[in-house]
Amino acid sequence: MVDLVRQILAGEEAWVVGGAIRDELLGRPIVDLDVACREPERSAGAYARRTSGAPFALSERHGAWRVALDDGRTVDFTPLRATIEEDLATRDFALNAIARRLQGGELFDPYSGVEDLEARAIRAVGSTVFEDDPLRLLRAVRLEQELGFRIDSRTEELLRASVERVRAPAGERILGELVRLGPNGFRRLDELGLLSPLGGSLNGPYGALDEPGFRLVAVFGERLERLPISNELRRYGRTLLRARPPADDSPRELHRFRRATEPWALEALAFVAAREHAGAVKLARERDPAEPLLRGDELGLAPGPVISRVLEAIEEERAAGTISTRSEALELVRRLA
């Protein structure tokens, strides 16, 4: 990534800043490159043309642009202020306020970010970092989790004084941070007083399954729909929240449970603390018939909701073992009709 950016910005003042420098010093893979330059839009367009990446405005207000590459990596082009000193002064934490000229050279580290990396500390660049961008409240916790670092005491004081600001960022930005948190991250949010203002609590089974969507539903419940979640996550959340454990492993009980929860029956079992039924659910899935005994147009009934109810009854009786043939299904239809 860097070599091509160097070609495009040859002869111009530009700096590699932020997470890319941090991750390089920590020996972590660099998946997001952040370049501060004079003309971000032009630079992003040139880079996109050379890579077939997708350029888009990351922040119309601040003039930042991002190029998303096919392999999941991104290159951000942000406006370089009058000097690199002024640019770094606007960054969030000292470990993200380290820069190097794009063409190479010594690190520029006015806030001693390298020392923080060695001390495994997350320290605010200035006293207004959370006022300037409240999303940094969540980002601080996410960095603690991802890097295994700890917020320093002064920064924690600033954070606790700003907890009510955590609701201020756009929902998309809040959600983007939350989906990256594991159980420890949510516990830390709660400890710092950040979770409650967002409408979350740790009363649900947030650690029962290592899956971001599951954790979000467990932590936020119905309040998750206040965030701009996808339709798929909305359906998933409603399914888990409505789930009730099967009374036993009988074919009829399992069928009813699966009818209410598939394709997320196993996740629903984890959500309602009924994983003892997981083996039976898996076996029932393996035994699902390839074809129905009857289709809707074969029932001889007038179109309407009754058709769905009859088909469901046929499926349940077949799963329960009371019918197994087409003729038995037709007899059931006659009795129901």
SS3 annotation, 228-248: CCCHHHHHHHHHHHHCCCCCC
Q: Are strands 54-59 and 99-101 parallel, antiparallel or unpaired?
A: unpaired
Q: What is the pLDDT of residues 78-120, one digit of tens each?
A: 999 889 999 999 999 999 999 999 999 999 999 999 999 999 9
First to last CA, the chain: 68
**Cis preceding-peptide flag for 263 (omega within 30 of 0):** yes
Please give the pLDDT value at position 60: 63
What would the two tokens of residue 210 be?
A: 């290592």
Q: Look at residue 76 and tell me whether its pLDDT is greater than 90.
A: yes
Distance, in Å, from the CA atom of 58 to the CA atom of 223, rounded to the nearest integer, reads: 27
Q: Mean pLDDT, the chain, as a whole number? A: 95
Give the whole-number percent of the chain exceeding pLDDT 90. 90
Q: Look at residue 337 and tell me whether its pLDDT is greater than 80.
A: no
Please give the pLDDT value at position 61: 66
Q: How many helices (H) and strands (E) does the chain have?
A: 17, 9
Report, as an integer, the average pLDDT of 253-262: 98
Q: Which domains does the chain have, with CATH numbers?
A: 1-115 (3.30.460.10), 120-241 (1.10.3090.10), 243-286 (no CATH), 296-336 (no CATH)
Q: Look at residue 63 and tell me whether its pLDDT is greater than 90.
A: no
Residue 297 is given by DSSP the state G
Q: What is the pLDDT of residues 182-239, one digit of tens each?
A: 999 999 999 999 999 999 999 999 999 999 999 999 999 999 999 999 999 999 999 9
Kindly report the pTM of this predicted structure: 0.89
